[in-house]
Amino acid sequence: MALQAVILDVDGTLVLSNDAHAQAWVDAFAAFGYEVPFEKVRPLIGMGGDQVIPKMVPGLTDEEGDGKAISSQRKEQIINHYGSTLAPTKGARELISQMQQAGLKLIIASSATSEELQVLLKAAQVDDLLKDVEATTSNDAQASKPAPDIVEVALNKINIERSQVVMLGDTPYDIESAKGAEVGVIALRCGGFDDTQLAGALAIYDDPADLLAHYEQSPLGNQR
């Protein structure tokens, strides 16, 4: 069926923030006396804090005690420190503009919190383009990616048959989340994951600019 809507991931897809998120976790854990190496947490970026915290320190959760404090500290690091240092992915703005001109309905589905999302969209230089676009964040779902909850909430908001929807993402957790909601994914390598890790995507491109260059041949071109 013809494509009508695109679910947008943000981190790693529209803004080069995955390394910053990993370092923010390292900093936040360290602030509470936990040594978590960058290389251990980096492969988990794309998951929400509810998933990351117990994987790093078994027994901790983001709902109470140190885990909750660490989650809050990480968010503050992104909003008040790392956010201003981030750059857009190549072609992010141009791809968003093209999808809008093509008449595709866009909705955001991110494991970030709603507070972080404003900072991230500004860093991606697409906040003005997406100011009227609905967003689903970790605040709206019981479990973050790779659980399908965030994608399911986005689908409910746009109310379009899922066979006419595709997700744009950059991590294996986007693919797993969308698969759980029966939505296909166009994957981008700019988030730092390789093709083996992105297996299961409908197609894989280097970044938004690469996808835009192949727009008509990509799943996004299937609007007729």
Residue-wise pLDDT for 164-211, tens only, equals 999 999 999 999 999 999 999 999 999 999 999 999 999 999 999 999
In angstroms, how far apart are the furthest CA atoms of the chain? 56
The domain boundary residue, chosen from 60, 85, 110: 85
pLDDT, residue 224, reads 52
Verify that 9 and 33 share a domain, yes or no: no
Final residue of a domain: which of 54, 70, 85?
A: 85
- For residue 1, what pLDDT is reported? 67
Closest by Cα among 114, 131, 109 to 181: 109
| Residue 223, pLDDT score | 64
pLDDT at residue number 39? 98
Verify that 32 and 13 share a domain, yes or no: no
Q: CATH number of the domain that 108 lies in?
A: 3.40.50.1000
Q: Indicate if 93 and 109 belong to the same structural domain.
A: yes
Say whether both 53 and 74 belong to one domain: yes
Q: Please check whether residues 98 and 207 belong to one and the same domain.
A: yes
The tally of domains found in the chain comes to 2
Beta bridge partners of 135: 108
Residues 55 and 94 occupy one common structural domain: no
Cis peptide before 146 (omega within 30 of 0): yes
DSSP string, 36-57: --HHHHGGGBTB-HHHHHHHHS
Of the three residues 30, 65, 85, the one that is the final residue of a domain is 85
**Res 84: pLDDT:** 94
Domain shared by 72 and 117, yes or no: no
Low-confidence residues of the chain, pLDDT below 50?
none
Task: Write down the pLDDT at residue 112.
Answer: 87
Residues 91 and 48 in one domain: no
> In which domain, by residue range, is 213 found?
5-17+87-221
Are 178 and 190 members of one domain? yes
Indicate whether 185 and 209 sit together in one domain: yes
List, in sequence order, the alpha helices (H) in 32-171.
38-41, 49-56, 65-77, 92-101, 114-123, 149-158
Whether residue 102 sits in one domain with residue 74 = no
100 and 29 in a common domain: no
pTM for this prediction: 0.95
Give me the pLDDT at residue 194, please: 97
89 close to 16: Cβ distance less than 8 angstroms: yes
